[in-house]
Structure 1
Amino acid sequence: MTSPPKSIRVVAALVERDGRYLITQRRPSAVLPLLWEFPGGRVEPRESDAQALCREFAERLGDAVQLQVGDLISFVSHPYEHYTVDLYLYQCAFADVSAPLETRSVHGFRWVTSDEFDELPFTPADEASMSQLLGEG
């Protein structure tokens, strides 16, 4: 009998500005290389979802932006071959919209409309989350 796959708790930020959403592209050396996703990452032990979002956001896009974490708006559990990702997507905003973003531990970032989601390759968990948000799933 095999044990169930390991479950990884991941949080992500849905940040909207002027009808566009912030997305990041994974590094070429990452698991699921060069796919797009909402910014965020793994929740560490003894860390709240909000703490993890703020830490991951700073690690990926710089600490000039102070992230305001709002309500949970989507949850998906997506099985991969050796683990399951439990993705919690939160509505977020910037405390200062003029704060600059940096490319740190991501390949790049973009602001896109929801119509552009279908034009870019996203991670499967983020695709499932987008389907929920757009009422397709």
Structure 2
Amino acid sequence: MSGEPRAGLTGWERALERFQRTLLGHVFPREPVELLDALRRECDSNVVRCSENRILAPNAYDIELDPEIHEELAGADGKVGMLLTDRLARHGERNGYEWAGPLAVHITRAESVPNGRYRVAGRVMPHVRADGFAPVTE
């Protein structure tokens, strides 16, 4: 998020989002906030407008981290991945996105990333059958 007001949010929602970003910045190191912004950008840039009322977003996101940052975030007991998935789900909900399947954020260690800290890539999870998500009837 770039700090500029986003369309569709009320003043209260923007204030709550600023509070949330500030809180995240104090609870976690700087990188998760940057990662969340990168996830949102990746999501927004890869949505597909299928119709006037349907916007499809990729559901699988891979975050590759520099080894030092990966080690630092690993100390958060694996909660960073859950936190980022939750925040990305909220972002999608606010924007009316429909996920291409179950939303997942995978964090891995990488020896080489372009900006020296992380790389984020979104995609539609392969090998997911639509009937696998059909409601179970008994």
- Length-normalised TM-score, structure 2: 0.24
Larger radius of gyration: 2
The structure in which a higher percent of residues are helix is 2
